[in-house]
A and B are shown apart, each in its own frame.
Chain A
């Protein structure tokens, strides 16, 4: 258990479905992140939250909608996705946005999303 839990681990959805990914961290961290990991590509930073406030949206299509109700929970709401959105979606947390410690981020195991 890494301290960051993501559910579900696997998700298959149709292009007209609506689903949500959930992330929970038990580390007392103040910053949380969503990354997209596609085969043979670098992790792409999608959203950054600090103390429940979104501080970055990296030109992500509106069919991805994040929500951070408190500093321990992060959601990614999905609707009308495209097949090219199939990827591993990783959640991560860190102590804070300006923390320069030597630990970086703690990642969850990810949700493997397949859009059919």
Chain B
């Protein structure tokens, strides 16, 4: 089967750095995505990794190790508006086409 694990909740302080981990066991790996979802809003794209290593985009970075089935999202200089759920998703090739399999999400609370 396909399985993606990430912590349920995390808390952090404004201005700090937080790392959200994601481990996956899937077949047909074809890329890993991170999405941000504020309460009552659409999930929005944050980052994409398909090769091993670190991808940096402003305050957000994402890392992938395909051999370990592991990724993390790193958020720097945390702001209050970063309080949201962060969804890890793996794109797999299954049944002849690509589909996204999601983890349950990590709810991040940023405190002053």
Contact = CB atoms under 8 A, between A and B. Distances in A.
Interface of A: 2, 4, 40-43, 45, 48, 50, 55-56, 90, 97-100, 102-110, 112
Contact of B104 (A2, A41, A45, A110): A41
A45 B30 CA distance: 17
B89 interface: yes
A16 B51 CA distance: 50
B48 A2 contact: no
Given A107-B42, A107-B43, A107-B44, A100 B87 contact: no
Contacts of B40: 109-110, 112
B interface bracket (residues with beta carbon within 8 Å of A):
20 to 34
Interface of B: 4, 8, 30-31, 33, 35, 40-45, 48, 50, 87, 89, 91, 95, 97-105
Contacts of B103: 42
Contacts of A109: 40-42
Given A4-B42, A90-B43, A100-B30, A105 B100 contact: yes
